[in-house]
Amino acid sequence: MYIKQLQQTWRWFGPNDPVSLQDVQQAGAQGIVTALHHIPHGEVWTKEEIDKRVQELKAGGFEWSVVESLTVHEDIKTRSGNYKGYIEKYRESLKNLASFGIRVVTYNFMPVNDWTRTDINYTVRDGSKALYFNWTDMAVFDIHILERQHAEKDYTGAVIERAKAKFIQMSDRQKQELVDTVLFGIPGEERRTTEGMRKELEKYKDIDRAALKSNLAYFLQEVTPVASEYGIRMAIHPDDPPFDILGLPRIVCNRQDLLDIISCSNETSNGLCFCTGSLGANPANNLPEMIDEVNTRIHFAHLRNTVRDAEGNFYEGDHLEGNVDMYKVMTSLLNVQQLVTHEIPFRPDHGHQMLDDLNKTTNPGYSAIGRLRGLAELRGLELGIVRGMQENK
């Protein structure tokens, strides 16, 4: 009995990525996940710019498997300003990508800030470096550096006290390092500032979870028919971390959120990027059960693990070790793969900075060796499950 496998991919940030395409070949990846980060958010990805990236990848022996991310402009998220114009540009970008045979487009609907961590050099037990989120450090930034109005309401009394004591002891350099980490964003894109953050937060003062979900539904109803027409599968990335921060609503955090998104548009192009790291940071999420429920609406997967503590702090563990049962996740994803004709791509999401990479400049979470280890482990896990499925048929 033939069992279809997932497509094994690798995220690459373009020609300036410290990890070369030759490195990716040696890691054993089958396809590339990338984006045109140099194009400002909301502007059209022209055929000329798309073709440049396609040719760069072909020269390195790869095809462009997944777009990550075709960024949604803040005007669309707030449904204000020139949001209709940006939606039209988004549709045009989808059409242009489709003309090059690119079929999976990932995006997120996180307000203002993309993924957020408080430490990008957290040392784990074996001496490698991981990404880390700590509520006390988040409160230091939010309450004492950003000075967001009424920020204290979003933290426990214990966290507020610890944050106050820590802020007093921090040097100016430590404070700046925390700011740089929280506002790091996507490699290759413009860095945010605390002043810019304050201005962006102001736009969301009257937008709660219900309003943001409504804005997402409007966006999906406008773009998914075009995606379906041109054969593109859209995959929304969960919020990272999967809970409200900085007073901003997060609406892609749990089972119900995923079901709500699927119900926004009946188009089969309307789907999910199932990120086990983001969703796994929420202890209420049962990831294998969620995969079984959303099923064929999973168009892409990020596979990584998290290690949580009782207070909700977490760091990114080894791919097969942590709070996520990667065996059950991989089994569920392979079951979904058997139900569709196209390949479902996955990539080893993030990885520890380790071995020689400890002495190199790398994009946080995207050093070569840690992800190579992760991909090797995931490939072996997948092969073992596939062989078992074949023998049991």
Q: Where are the domains of the chain?
A: 7-117+198-391
Cα separation of 145 and 201, whole Å? 15
75, 318, 349, 357: which is the annotated catalytic residue?
349
Confidence of residue 96 (pLDDT cuts 50, 70, 90): very high
pTM for the full predicted model: 0.97
For residue 54, what pLDDT band results from cuts at 50, 70 and 90? very high
- The residue type of 119 is D
Residues listed for the chain: 393
Determine contact, residues 240/275, Cβ cutoff 8 Å.
Answer: yes
- List the catalytic residue out of 154, 275, 318, 357: 275
SS3 310: coil
Q: What is the CATH number of domain 7-117+198-391?
A: 3.20.20.150
Question: Inter-axis angle of helices 47-59 and 83-98, to 10 degrees?
Answer: 40
Query: How far is the C-alpha of 36 from the C-alpha of 70, rounded, in Å?
Result: 8
pLDDT tens sequence across 246-284? 999 999 999 999 999 999 999 999 999 999 999 999 999
Q: How far apart are CA 279 and CA 236, in angstroms?
A: 13
Q: What does each C-alpha distance from 211 to 112, 234, 356 come to in angstroms?
A: 15, 22, 47
Question: Which pLDDT score is estimated for 190?
Answer: 72
pLDDT tens per residue across span 217-247: 999 999 999 999 999 999 999 999 999 999 9
Dihedral, CA of residue 281, residue 215, residue 93 and residue 102, to nearest 10: 40
| Beta-bridge partners for 129 | 123, 353
For position 191, what pLDDT does the model report?
Answer: 76
pLDDT of residue 183: 93
Q: What is the pLDDT of residue 188?
A: 65
pLDDT in tens, 313-325: 999 999 999 999 9
Q: Residue 106 pLDDT more than 90?
A: yes
**Which member of 37, 73, 302, 319 is catalytic?**
302
Contacts of 74 (CB under 8 A, 6+ apart): 41, 111, 112, 200, 203
Residue 302 appears among annotated catalytic residues: yes
Average pLDDT in the chain: 96
Which of 237, 299, 319, 352 is labelled catalytic?
A: 237
Q: How far apart are CA 246 and CA 162, in angstroms?
A: 18
Question: Which region, left, alpha or beta, applies to residue 140 given φ > 0 means left and ψ of -120 to 50 means alpha?
Answer: alpha
Region 289-300 average pLDDT: 98
Identify the pLDDT of residue 259.
98
Q: Per residue in 339-370, pLDDT tens?
A: 999 999 999 999 999 999 999 999 999 999 99
**Does 264 participate in catalysis according to the annotation?**
no
Cis omega (within 30 of 0) for bond into 288:
no
Looking up tokens 């990716």, which residue turns up? 24
How far is 112 from 121, CA to CA, in rounded Å?
23
Ordered alpha helix ranges (H), 125-254 = 135-139, 157-169, 172-182, 194-202, 209-229
Residue 91's closest CA among 45, 54, 47, 51? 45
